[in-house]
Copies of this chain bind each other. A is one copy, B any other.
Amino acid sequence: MSLLQRVLPATAWMRTYERGNLRADVSAGLTTAVMLIPQGMAYAMLAGLPPIIGLYASTVPIILYALFGSSRELAVGPVAMVSLLVATALTPLAAAGSAEYVGFAVVLALLVGAIQLAMGMVRAGFLVNFLSHPVVSGFTSAAALIIGLSQLKHLLGVEIPRSHHIHTIVIAAFEKLGDVQPYTILIGAVSIAALVILKKRAPKLPRALIVVAGTTIAVWAFGLADKGVAIVGEVPAGLPTPSLPSFESGTLTALLPTAVIISLVGFMESVSVAKAFASKKRYEIEPNQELVGLGLANLGAAVFSGYPVTGGFSRTAVNAQAGARTPMAGIVTAVVVMGTLLFLTDLFYYLPKAVLASVIMTAVFGLIDVAEVKHLWKVDRADMSLLLLTLAGTLSLGIEAGIGLGVGASLLWFIVQTTRPHAAVLGRLPGTVAYRNIERHPEAEQFAGILILRIDAGFYFGNVTFLKDLVRDSLLKQAQPVHTVILDASSINRLDSSANGAVGEMARSLKETGVQLLLAGVKGPVMDALKKAGIYDDVAGEHPHLSVHDAVEGIMTSPPDGGGEQHESLIRNAS
């Protein structure tokens, strides 16, 4: 990959851009734009900002991400989570909707952009390695549930307060069942049915665009807006003009903590969404490049009177479902939004909110990944538990806390496992030079006086006590006297100073009881560590043993105590 392609990933996909992609990208970009316009306005209102700010945030930032980001499907723009965080941060500082409040939001975008760009440049994107697959899957399913259910109010045509508690939403919906809007439900039901059927029967059609256009025309033709169907209504016209945000240094200090939180949460949400879609299409997301792309998008939002943006969940799903193949779809979205701001705001007047809710719901509910839970039930119960923990945590505590819980529990579980590694007593597979676990291979031969152990772990301070106990207990369990313990070191990947000391101690204390400790198949880095500590010569035997077999042969030809009678091969069945 050339430097230019690394810095500006757009040069790669633009050079190889095929005509066939264009139709898909335009359709997806258009569909996403059709969702983005009312959503951007709604999320801006959620953030306490005038609706137009949400549209401004959906222009230049999207183009900047399309040029610098590494995802093909990610739909950047205003999102619910970040909008909520903005509202929480700014409400104590100024009156919602005031010029001062809007100014703060712009400064927040500037700070978020600067932080993300800096993180990308120091390559801090490796942090998302700790978002394991089970954690991303659990969080995705939970977020899909929360976002999907948040659209219930638009489908039913009733007021339901925003919440991430599923039961709160469901109870509120039940309480309001008497107030539901029949025409609204009809539009929602028809839209969902159409989306599901079109997906199965005609997956290549721009189904979101079709239902959006169809229902808008129906609302206009039958005058449904007068019959209680909620519509998007008036959208103000005109493009944002570039300007540098002005602020006092005190503002920066006040907004910095929130900016850090939005930077991290926005990045994590965005990159996990991007990863989820990239893994379906088997390409890689480069986290540091994502940080650069999102950082520049936020700086763009700051210059073009927007507010903090990130890669959104539901629109990315719609964008991908609508067939987005390259970031060109994003550029199309931005151009459509800009065109709309200039000329077409009237067209969205009769667009019913219920159809947007249907699009979001069918998109995100497809992301609830029950198959992954079933798969992990078979493959890895611990990872399944981590998935369910993240899911439950996100539903009960919110998205940030849910992700935090999942990552924390994953790391804790990883560390706990390293403290009690798997270990095996080895025997020689007859007729080979391979040594395997005698419990799995009862036919494996053992040799009188020799105990061969394999401990599947990097040796470090966290498992030193366990390892010492294990060697001691394994020795005690032997029915025959043992003169040599061979440790298969091919599975020892590292050795810190605590473990180094422990190996030396073990060798010495075994020697005192007349048992020699040999390490066979020691790897380079471990050998270096042992040599530096001056232990290597004690545990390498007369010459470094390349393998367990090598060590066993060495003992056979020159037995340690001259006790030749001990050295006939003894086949002992492990059962």
A38 and B461 CA atoms in complex are apart in Å by: 38
A491 touches B532 (CB 8 A): no
A500 and B376 CA atoms in complex are apart in Å by: 11
Chain B CB count within 10 A is highest, among A417, A437, A496, for: A496
A532 touches B414 (CB 8 A): no
The interface stretch among A83-91, A141-149, A295-303, A418-426 is A418-426
Q: Given A494-B456, A500-B379, A282 and B461 touching (CB < 8 A)? A: no
Name A525's closest neighbour in chain B (CB-CB): B422
Q: Which residues of B contact A460 (CB under 8 A)?
A: 132, 414
Q: Which residues of B contact A421 (CB under 8 A)?
A: 493
Q: Given A414-B460, A419-B126, A379 and B497 touching (CB < 8 A)? A: yes
B417 touches A494 (CB 8 A): yes
Give the number of times this chain occurs in the complex, counting copies.
2
B380 touches A524 (CB 8 A): no
B132 touches A496 (CB 8 A): yes
> Does A462 count as interface, using CB distance less than 8 angstroms?
yes
Name A126's closest neighbour in chain B (CB-CB): B419
Lowest 9 A-B CB distances belong to which pairs? A132-B461, A456-B493, A434-B546, A383-B497, A380-B497, A133-B498, A379-B532, A490-B490, A379-B533
> Does A440 count as interface, using CB distance less than 8 angstroms?
yes
The interface stretch among A166-174, A179-187, A343-351, A463-471 is A463-471
> Does A566 count as interface, using CB distance less than 8 angstroms?
no
> Does A98 count as interface, using CB distance less than 8 angstroms?
no
Q: Which residues of B contact A493 (CB under 8 A)?
A: 421-422, 456-458, 491, 493
Name A454's closest neighbour in chain B (CB-CB): B523
> Does A411 count as interface, using CB distance less than 8 angstroms?
yes
Q: Mark A248-289, 1 if CB is under 8 A from B, else 0.
A: 000000000000000000000000000000010010100000
Q: Give residues 22-63 of A contacting B (CB, 8 Å).
A: none
CB distance from A455 to the nearest CB of B (A): 9
Q: Which residues of B contact A339 (CB under 8 A)?
A: none
> Does A501 count as interface, using CB distance less than 8 angstroms?
yes
CB distance from A422 to the nearest CB of B (A): 5
B379 touches A461 (CB 8 A): no
> Does A432 count as interface, using CB distance less than 8 angstroms?
yes
A418 and B418 CA atoms in complex are apart in Å by: 11
B422 touches A415 (CB 8 A): no
Residue in B129, B378, B458, B466 whose beta carbon sits within 8 Å of that of A464 in the complex: B129
A465 and B289 CA atoms in complex are apart in Å by: 15
Q: Which residues of B contact A466 (CB under 8 A)?
A: 129
Q: Which residues of B contact A134 (CB under 8 A)?
A: 461, 497-498
Q: Which residues of B contact A465 (CB under 8 A)?
A: 126, 129, 284
> Does A177 count as interface, using CB distance less than 8 angstroms?
no
> Does A529 count as interface, using CB distance less than 8 angstroms?
yes
Q: Which residues of B contact A500 (CB under 8 A)?
A: 379-380
> Does A547 count as interface, using CB distance less than 8 angstroms?
yes
> Does A100 count as interface, using CB distance less than 8 angstroms?
no
A462 touches B129 (CB 8 A): yes
Q: Given A434-B546, A523-B491, A461 and B130 touching (CB < 8 A)? A: yes
Can you identify 24 A-B contacts, CB atoms within 8 angstroms? A126-B419, A129-B419, A129-B463, A130-B462, A131-B461, A132-B496, A134-B497, A284-B468, A378-B532, A380-B497, A380-B500, A380-B529, A382-B496, A383-B496, A411-B462, A414-B462, A422-B493, A434-B547, A434-B550, A437-B523, A437-B524, A440-B524, A456-B494, A490-B491
